[in-house]
Structure 1
Amino acid sequence: MKAAKISIIIPVLNEATTIEATLTRLQDVSDIEVIVVDGGSRDETVELAHRCCGRFAPLSEIKVISAAAGRANQMNAGAAIATGDILLFLHADTHLPSKFDTLVRQSLENPSTIAGAFELRIDSDLRGLRLIEKIVNMRSRIFSMPYGDQAIFLKATTFDEIGGFPELPIMEDFELMRQLKQEGKITLVSASVLTSGRRWQKLGVLKTTLMNQLIIAGYFLGISPTQLMRWYRQGGFRNRG
């Protein structure tokens, strides 16, 4: 039986320092499709992504497209042209674990599982980050609420049925998870993605954590996502694909 094809969708915006390493980690995996969706980068992101096109394993391919800036819009644009049976949404500064493709396929073979994600590991030795990782992974397991930096995956048919990511400037992953929880089980794979520690290093663990929690609280209180994104950027988090 032919393995389910996985489409990996990577929204990017000025990710020249990360995109090549992220794509290189995928080039030896078979039966995948990688779609890089650029939101108007002004650096060498697109050129570096194109440079990787000839390196992929047989039965795999990479596409580079453009879309209006905004992570939700870019991911929806990538999903619209994807040909895979499974969609996996990956941040440009995040590396998938070895044998991720097998883990994803096995997770979605369970009829009760509607979506999944990976445990989180942060690529930094800053004090406090190991505790952050434990809290994130515990939250993801207990409340079935992994976020976008944990590489969310689901069947393409499911993504179409729920209408894709809501067109929000922020919290699009949070809202997608809330919708999926109503439909079935969300699995947390016992393997970790490795995500960049750059935002933690830039502002510090305490300030980054407080900003994240304030954004979530503001969302629950009904503050508009546009205003929340404004605060997020004012807090120093400007590089969102």
Structure 2
Amino acid sequence: MNLSVIIPTLNEAEHIRSTIDSVRTSGPCHEIIVVDGGSTDETRAIAARRAQVLRADRGRAHQMNAGADAATGDILLFLHADTLLSKPALASARRAIRSGSVCAGTFRLQFQPSTPALRFFAACTRIPWMKLCFGDRGLFTTREAFDAVGGFPKWPVFEDLEMATRLANHGGFAHLSATVTTSARRFQRNGALRQQLHNLRLWLHYVAGTSPASVAHLYRYDEGRG
């Protein structure tokens, strides 16, 4: 089964090279598609030397849907621009899909650099609960399932959690033990406790069913903050 990796970007020159390289070292990959939302740094130039680069309207949901439209793989893997795949990740995703028992899944999370608090936050991703399936963990799905649920909802926030839930309801969801490593830059910039309390505030809005548009101002996806 061919696997396409789709990476939304916005001013990610610092991370995109390492992210693409981690995909290539993780195993065979049919194609890597970087979908840029209007970077003003060198993101597109760096990515173009290593992957196919597209442009789309700013916003992860728009960018990931555009990447999926262009992808030709049987499996689609959506990866944040500051997140690195581990070497077993791609093979683990393929095995899960080939088992026939699921149509989608995600990985466990690690942070780099790490701290005791961040190791605790990462350990929570061992819990197989759909409401913890954030996009920075990586999300993979079959093309058929992606099309069946209509792609990512065009929401300014929570599109990752909602997409994972819709996929699980469509055809089963795998919580893999393989890991991805995401940048701890937000925690470093804002403080681990302060950032996690902010994340919790947003998450509770999602659980409560708050309109994504009404809380979009609380989440910024810009200037390398994706």
1:100 Cα deviation after fit: 2.2
1:185-222 CA-to-partner distances (Å, cap 9, x unmatched) read 21111111011010111111111111111112223444
Equivalent residue for 2:37?
Answer: 39
1:70-94 CA-to-partner distances (Å, cap 9, x unmatched) read 0000000000010000000000000
Give the secondary-structure state (helix, strand or coil) at the position aligned to 1:75.
Answer: helix
Letter in 1 for 2:9: V
Letter in 2 for 1:97: S
1:102 Cα deviation after fit: 1.5
The normalised TM-score by structure 1 is 0.87
Equivalent residue for 1:158?
Answer: 145
1:204 and 2:191 matched: yes
Residues in 2 aligned to 1:228 and 1:36: alpha-carbon distance in whole angstroms:
27
Does the 8 A contact of 2:9 with 2:37 survive in 1? yes
Across the aligned residues of Structure 1 and Structure 2, the Cα RMSD in angstroms comes to 1.9
Give the secondary-structure state (helix, strand or coil) at the position aligned to 1:128.
Answer: helix
Equivalent of residue 231 in structure 1, options 184, 206, 218: 218
Does the 8 A contact of 2:16 with 2:46 survive in 1? yes
Does the 8 A contact of 2:10 with 2:43 survive in 1? yes
Give the secondary-structure state (helix, strand or coil) at the position aligned to 1:216.
Answer: helix
- Structure 1 gaps of 5+ residues are 53-61
Does the 8 A contact of 1:71 with 1:240 survive in 2? no
Equivalent residue for 1:18?
Answer: 15
Equivalent of residue 92 in structure 1, options 74, 81, 85: 81
Letter in 2 for 1:11: P
Equivalent residue for 1:30?
Answer: 28
Give the secondary-structure state (helix, strand or coil) at the position aligned to 1:194.
Answer: strand
Equivalent residue for 1:75?
Answer: 64
1:95 Cα deviation after fit: 0.5
Residues in 2 aligned to 1:11 and 1:237: alpha-carbon distance in whole angstroms:
12
Equivalent residue for 1:168?
Answer: 155
Letter in 2 for 1:68: D
Give the secondary-structure state (helix, strand or coil) at the position aligned to 1:34.
Answer: strand
Residues in 2 aligned to 1:82 and 1:237: alpha-carbon distance in whole angstroms:
25
Does the 8 A contact of 2:5 with 2:29 survive in 1? no
Equivalent residue for 1:49?
Answer: 47
Equivalent residue for 1:191?
Answer: 178
Deviates more, 1:22-31 or 1:91-100: 22-31
Over 3 Å counting, the alpha-carbon distance change for 1:237 and 1:220 in structure 2 is farther
1:103-130 CA-to-partner distances (Å, cap 9, x unmatched) read 1110111222121111100112333111
Equivalent of residue 123 in structure 1, options 90, 105, 112: 112
1:104 and 2:101 matched: no
Equivalent residue for 1:218?
Answer: 205
**How many residues of Structure 1 are paired with residues of Structure 2 in the alignment?**
225
- Structure 2 gaps of 5+ residues are none
The normalised TM-score by structure 2 is 0.93
1:225 Cα deviation after fit: 1.5
